[in-house]
Amino acid sequence: LDLPEPPTQATLALARAQLATLTSASKALEQKLVDARDALARIVDERQAAIRDMERELALLDDSLALARAYVSPIKRLPHELLRHVFVFVFEDCAWSAWVLAAVCTLWRKVALAMPVIWSKIRLVTTQASSAETIRLWLERSGRSVPLDIEIILKSSPGPVHAALLDGLSRRRYLSVPQGVAGDPWVPGAPGWATPPPLAHGGAGGMHLQLTVQVPVPVMVPANDGGGGGAAGLHPPTDAPHTHGHGHEWEVPPLLQQQQQRNGPLSQQRLRKNMHWGHIAFYYLVDQMHRWERFVFRFDKQFASFGALKSIEGDAPLLREFEISSTDPAFYGDWKWLPSAPVNAHYDIGNLRTLTLQHVPFKWSSPMLRNLRHLNLRSLPTVHIAVDRILHIVAANPQLETLAMHFTSPNQQVLPLAPVTLPQLRSLTLGGHYLLANLLESLLLPALDALILDIEARDPIEDAVSALLARSGTPPLTRLSLSYGTGSASHTGFYWGSAAGVASWHFLTELDHLAALQVGSAPLEPLIAALSAPDEENGQDRWVCPRLTGLAMRGCHAHGDGVAKLVQMVDARNPDGAGAGAGGAAGGGLPVRLRHLELYDCTALGPDVTKWLKTRIAEVVCTEPSFERYVGRLVLV
């Protein structure tokens, strides 16, 4: 203000007048600013409302455009009959494909749900935390007359990958899409097992699907050591019992569970629900027993509702293959179920040809153990069956093609053992107690192709093998396995340690057709010396096992020059040169070249020897021995 200092009465009055004028002008301007901002806000709201309306209209147009494009797409012109044929082809390649096909669109869902045949193969890897209603839904969609092919694996708890993926998930079910599924380590070279999950209902008849990429989790799929064809590749020892493997239909990731509530009343409620999983699941399954064509149920250990297996009883006229397997043995009482049926029971199971029972109760006189072609039995440790009754099981199946039996604690025979001839048996697997060697002495197997023995060592086994082959007319044996075992270490019995039990390898001279040899817990040098070049000083004038292409040894300890003898044997059988040994075995020249060599916990070869072996043999697998070595029942440190 241009007023003098100090102020006077006149200047003060002038200043007060100017202050009133400026205050009034400021309030007027502030009001105009508020009005302008309000006007701008109204314009923005109007424009945003218009934009939202246009976005909604655009979304509706996009939906209509997508529907129109879908309607004019070539796949829409495909007749429903051809679409059903395509669905069948996909189903034959992937058993769980119906779940995915039914989630593509409304039309495909209608077609898929109207085709019970593509729901007839149940492939489920689950735990007790998952809902048993999955099985009910699968069975309902399979219709009422289509034969059922069922494979279910029950795991006691989710693996580490499952646990990581389950953390933070909602209570919806998820469908996983395979991404480079790896094989199951329990079955080398076989694909992993997996599970298609059900879709979660979304109200008003809708279905919701959420896709997540997941790393597959290995689950229990035991290998079939009893399979024929010994010339094929040798597999490393595994920890699972041996059964028939079915791999090609399991190339999908496992089913994810619902999220576990860690505290509160819901946790206790879910725990009580899990205790009844088996009863709910087998209620639905046994109700459709008349449609079973193939039934496989595997579990890794005893679960809360395992007593539900007792309900498996009744007619199954279509049943061709039946398997109940447990990885770990447990105590079971006397069950009154189909494998333990009395001898005079009458059930319609005349088409049954393949039976596998591992670590579950069964009776030696059950009608189920008759007229089979493939039999795999692994008894409970608490079951004591006399050897003559075990032989009765074998004699009741004269058309057997593969036989695998493991008895941990049989009793001495009560009745004399009569000779039993199995003219069609190609593969024989015996394991467990040393009394089973008496069973081997009663068999005649003219068509034997593969012999797997893992019997507790008491007496040398080579005499029993030679006598078996002589009685059977010297069949062309192509695979021989002696105490190779099914675990990282040989099993040990109550009184006798497990070992190959071979005093002399001279009997190998009789096996001119042998293509695969597996040996466990035997001295390395004598075996290598027997397979080396002929030595006239030792009375060996020709090659032993001239057609041998695969050699696997586990726990075969070496002393002194064991590595040197191994190198000499490989150099003799696989001389340097591409054509050496290619076809001279039949003509008396060099033997067939070794193509596969495996050494597990035998001796320390060193990187130089391993590298040299790989230059002579196509496939070489070696693992160094641990610091502590078990030889029979003795521990060498």
Report whether pLDDT(4) > 90: no
What percentage of the chain reaches a pLDDT higher than 90? 49
How high is the pLDDT of residue 357? 94
Pick the more confident residue, 217 or 57. 57
Report whether pLDDT(480) > 90: yes
Distance CA 501, CA 489 (A): 16
Report whether pLDDT(185) > 70: no
Average pLDDT over residues 163-186: 36
Report whether pLDDT(490) > 60: no
How high is the pLDDT of residue 578? 53
How high is the pLDDT of residue 539? 64
Q: What is the pTM of this model?
A: 0.73
Angle made by CA atoms 598, 602, 606, in degrees to the nearest 5: 85
How high is the pLDDT of residue 13? 87
Q: How much is the mean pLDDT over the chain? A: 78
How high is the pLDDT of residue 191? 34
Check if the beta carbon of residue 454 is closer than 8 Å to that of residue 431.
Answer: yes
Torsion of Cα atoms, 95 then 96 then 98 then 101, to 10°: -110
Report whether pLDDT(101) > 70: yes
How does 558-597 read in b/e, with b if 16+ C-beta sit within 10 Å?
beeebbebbbebbebbbeeeeeebeebbeeeebbbbbbbb
Distance CA 107, CA 8 (A): 96
- The tens digit of pLDDT for each residue in 225-274 reads 333 333 334 443 333 333 344 444 444 433 433 433 444 454 556 556 66
How high is the pLDDT of residue 471? 93
How high is the pLDDT of residue 603? 85
Report whether pLDDT(171) > 70: no
Lowest mean pLDDT among 23-37, 141-155, 431-445, 613-627: 613-627
Pick the more confident residue, 196 or 570. 570
- The tens digit of pLDDT for each residue in 191-206 reads 333 333 333 333 333 3
Report whether pLDDT(433) > 70: yes
Pick the more confident residue, 164 or 340. 340
Average pLDDT over residues 365-372: 93
Check if the beta carbon of residue 513 is closer than 8 Å to that of residue 476.
Answer: yes
Lowest mean pLDDT among 38-52, 202-216, 373-387: 202-216
Distance CA 356, CA 242 (A): 10
How high is the pLDDT of residue 270? 57
Report whether pLDDT(331) > 90: no
How high is the pLDDT of residue 239? 39
292's tokens = 């079973």
Report whether pLDDT(223) > 50: no
- Candidates 300, 272, 295; CA nearest to 121 is 295
How high is the pLDDT of residue 457? 73
Distance CA 502, CA 519 (A): 10
Report whether pLDDT(360) > 50: yes
Pick the more confident residue, 593 or 186. 593
180's tokens = 């480079």
Lowest mean pLDDT among 88-97, 204-213, 495-504, 513-522: 204-213
- Candidates 554, 548, 551; CA nearest to 619 is 551
- The tens digit of pLDDT for each residue in 369-425 reads 999 999 999 999 888 999 999 999 999 999 999 999 999 999 999 999 999 999 999
Distance CA 476, CA 489 (A): 30
How high is the pLDDT of residue 431? 92
Most confident of 115-124, 228-237, 487-496: 115-124
Lowest mean pLDDT among 106-110, 353-357, 573-577: 573-577
Angle made by CA atoms 50, 54, 58, in degrees to the nearest 5: 170
Pick the more confident residue, 105 or 252. 105
Lowest mean pLDDT among 6-15, 113-122, 133-142, 476-485: 6-15
How high is the pLDDT of residue 241? 37
Average pLDDT over residues 345-353: 92
- The tens digit of pLDDT for each residue in 311-330 reads 999 999 999 999 999 988 87
- The tens digit of pLDDT for each residue in 51-82 reads 999 999 999 999 999 888 888 888 888 899 99
Domain at 448-637, CATH from 1.20.58, 3.40.50, 1.10.8, 3.80.10:
3.80.10
